[in-house]
Amino acid sequence: MINGYQVSQALHAAATLGVADQLKNGPKPYDVLARACGAHPPSLYRLLRALAAAGVFHETGNKEFSLTPLGVCLTSDASDSRCNYARWIGTPGQWRSWGNLSHSIKSGESATEFTHGQDAWTYRMQHPEEQAVLNSAMTGNSRSEARAVLDAYDFSRFAFVVDVGGGQGLLLKEILLACPAARGILFDQPHVIASAHKMPISAELEQRCQFVAGSFLESVPENGDAYLMKAILHDWDDDRSIEILRTCRRAMSPKARLFVIERVIGPPNESPEGKFSDLNMMVQYAALERTRQEFHNLLKSGGFELTDVVPTRSPMSIIVGQPISTE
């Protein structure tokens, strides 16, 4: 466990070099791989044999390497690819910030801001190459998470779906594909919407989906009957999260429903994935993952009653909120 960071960096290096993609069509000797990846052959061999010992690749007696089922996840086009996520965790903004985890523990402040002298949002705006890797990583994660959400919850009764902070629109696209009678709005910041416009979309979906730019700290589109927020509130502390929820509440009718798609912190001594993600939120944004009770309290402060928490086969759960009457 102490040396776990070495595995993270080894995976980051292999993903950045594109090793797994070079092995999709069969085994290759390490020196052939090195030429294809632009690496120093003896050094690449040492990386590959270490990852083979960890089960990512398989080494034969003549120093050829092939993919294992685990290693397939590092290919760029795998259905559940983690290639871009592995690339992202080693970027300077992420890696160096985690090196100052102890600052967050002592102060409660963002280690990113302490490390780079600016918050994570500003840092990535000034380092678009890292932002691009993060966008790709989050879209990759969203593919499997979107399928899990649709397997766990039937959205077909909703005619107008608003995806608040929906990024590249993958979740909304999957919902609209599953619900042919529904319309949707993808809502995010102007630069995100500009990027989402470039994503391929069918003519039929384009007719049913609008792209709207703005800030969810100020207002969101009105008249939806389902409002989605996937992996949004965990980027913010409670005060800002309540602001975001109240913004959504102002736009919603009493019959509309809110769907917060987030990790839910598990009971003591279990579910480490969510608890380490919580540390990442602290490092990056001085924010947090939350327990069911914390979501109940947060939604109530934002104008909602928590009516259900639906687990999915992914790390994400669907937290369902109903507007509290203001009458």
Q: Are residues 162 and 231 in the same domain?
A: yes
Q: Are residues 71 and 131 in the same domain?
A: no
| CATH number, residue 240 | 3.40.50.150
- Per-residue confidence (pLDDT) for residue 219, from 0 to 100: 96
- Per-residue confidence (pLDDT) for residue 327, from 0 to 100: 60
| CATH number, residue 46 | 1.10.10.10
Residue 96 domain-assigned (yes or no): no
Residue 210 domain-assigned (yes or no): yes
> For the chain, what is the domain count?
2
Of 277, 296, 299, 298, nearest to 288 by C-alpha is 277
Structure tokens given for 146: 């979107």
Q: Are residues 49 and 171 in the same domain?
A: no
User: Which string of b and e fits 291-301 if b means at least 16 CB within 10 Å?
Assistant: eeeebbebbee
Q: Are residues 157 and 285 in the same domain?
A: yes
Q: Are 131 and 122 in contact (CB under 8 A)?
A: no
Residue 100 domain-assigned (yes or no): no
Mean pLDDT (whole number) for 293-319:
97
| Average pLDDT score, the chain | 94
Structure tokens given for 127: 């380092």
pTM equals: 0.90
Write out pLDDT tens, residues 55-64.
999 999 899 9
93 — phi, psi (to 5°)?
Answer: -60, -40
Q: Given 79, 111, 137, which residue is the final one in a domain?
A: 79
Which residue numbers are catalytic?
234
Residue 112 domain-assigned (yes or no): no
User: What CA–CA distance (Å, rounded) separates 255 from 225?
Assistant: 7
Residue 97 domain-assigned (yes or no): no
Q: Given 64, 79, 94, which residue is the final one in a domain?
A: 79
Q: Are residues 159 and 285 in the same domain?
A: yes
Can you give the residue range of the structural domain that contains 16?
A: 4-79
Residue 170 domain-assigned (yes or no): yes
Written as one letter, the residue type at 207 is: Q
Q: Map tokens 């987030």 to a residue.
A: 262
In 3-state terms, the chain is what percent helix, strand and coil (to 5)? 50, 15, 35
Please check the confidence at residue 9 and state whether its pLDDT lies above 80: yes
Angle, CA 80 vertex, CA 77 and CA 84 arms, to 5° = 65
Q: Are residues 131 and 276 in the same domain?
A: yes
- Per-residue confidence (pLDDT) for residue 174, from 0 to 100: 93
Residue 104 domain-assigned (yes or no): no
Q: Are residues 187 and 284 in the same domain?
A: yes
Q: Are residues 275 and 163 in the same domain?
A: yes
Please check the confidence at residue 314 and state whether its pLDDT lies above 80: yes
- Per-residue confidence (pLDDT) for residue 201, from 0 to 100: 75
Q: Are residues 74 and 135 in the same domain?
A: no
Q: Given 18, 46, 79, which residue is the final one in a domain?
A: 79
Number of H helices, E strands in the chain: 16, 10
Q: Are residues 135 and 276 in the same domain?
A: yes
Write out pLDDT tens, residues 127-145.
999 998 998 888 877 888 9
Residue 164 domain-assigned (yes or no): yes
- Per-residue confidence (pLDDT) for residue 220, from 0 to 100: 97
Q: Are residues 75 and 140 in the same domain?
A: no
DSSP string, 237-253: -HHHHHHHHHHHHHH--
Q: Are residues 141 and 234 in the same domain?
A: yes
